[in-house]
């Protein structure tokens, strides 16, 4: 049995925890780093955070929220057997375009411009894995339908096949991001989460806000099918 025990999310104006039913406004992504340290979502400084691209920042923010929602503490001195799978619509295309624009603005006289960028779509997950001490499998994967349900199904299958007992599944875009903590075990019966199939059904909504509302409201109800994966 696989349970979703934590869900963290943020967009351009709010962030929150679905199980904990917390929703707070914010004044912009640039102000969130200090706020996350103050509220103990980041338990210690994120190395080189200021040079992260927006997808890497969004990934780290929502991963911190999902771990907090699941009640999982992390430490730089102790690794956790948790994988991290991520997806988004364009991979690292926007970072590559930023690099090229910077190169043009620098006069095309250097081998590269003055902008530090990431050129692999898996790097946001790698940065999150480094900070949170995740030792499980790491993967960026693109789905033709672009749906969060595809990511959750893929992550759930990986757990069932024994690749790792837990996975953070992240969909991070520049405007919004959501992260799910998937764990194998009887966490649902203790009222700490929902069955994965239930969350998959709730994730396919027409827009981000509707999905978050559905997921948050679902924790008012007890899970109803102990035989689901």
- Domain positions in the chain are 2-218
The string of pLDDT tens digits covering residues 158-183 is 999 999 999 999 999 989 999 999 99
What would the mean pLDDT of 89-95 be, rounded to a whole number? 63
Q: What is the pTM of this model?
A: 0.85
What's the confidence (pLDDT) of residue 226? 46
SS (H, E, C) the chain: CEEEEEEEEEECCEEEECCCCEEEECCCHHHHHHHHHHCCCCCCCCCCHHHCCHHHHHHHHHHHHHHHHHCCCCECCECECCEEEEECCCCCHHHHHHHHHHHHHCCCCCCCCCCCCCCCCCHHHHHHHHHHCECCCEEECCCCCCCHHHHHHHHHHHHHCCCCCEEEEEEECCCEEEEEEEEECCCHHHCCCEEHHHHHHHHCCCCHHHHHHHHHHHCCCCCCCCCCC
What's the confidence (pLDDT) of residue 64? 98
Q: Which fold has domain 2-218?
A: Peroxisomal Thiolase; Chain A, domain 1 (3.40.47)
């Amino acid at each position: 049995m696989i349970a979703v025990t934590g869900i963290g999310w943020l967009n351009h104006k709010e962030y929150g925890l679905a199980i904990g039913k917390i929703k707070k406004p914010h004044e912009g992504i640039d102000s969130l780093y200090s706020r996350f340290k103050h509220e103990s979502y980041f338990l210690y400084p994120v190395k080189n955070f200021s040079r992260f691209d927006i997808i890497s920042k969004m990934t780290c923010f929502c991963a911190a929220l999902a771990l907090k929602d699941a009640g999982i503490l992390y430490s730089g001195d102790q690794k956790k057997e948790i994988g991290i799978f991520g997806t988004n619509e364009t991979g690292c295309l926007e970072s590559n375009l930023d690099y090229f624009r910077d190169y043009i603005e620098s006069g095309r006289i250097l081998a590269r411009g003055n902008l530090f960028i990431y050129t692999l779509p898996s790097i946001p997950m790698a940065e999150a894995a480094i900070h949170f001490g995740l030792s499980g499998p790491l993967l960026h994967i693109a789905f033709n339908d672009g749906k969060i349900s595809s990511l959750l199904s893929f992550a759930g299958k990986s757990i069932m096949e024994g690749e790792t007992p837990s996975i953070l599944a992240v969909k991070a875009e520049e405007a919004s991001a959501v992260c799910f903590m998937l764990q194998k075990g009887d966490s649902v019966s203790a009222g700490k989460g929902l069955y994965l199939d239930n969350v998959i059904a709730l994730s396919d909504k027409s827009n981000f806000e509707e999905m978050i509302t559905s997921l948050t409201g679902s924790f008012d109800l007890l899970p109803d099918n102990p035989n689901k994966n």
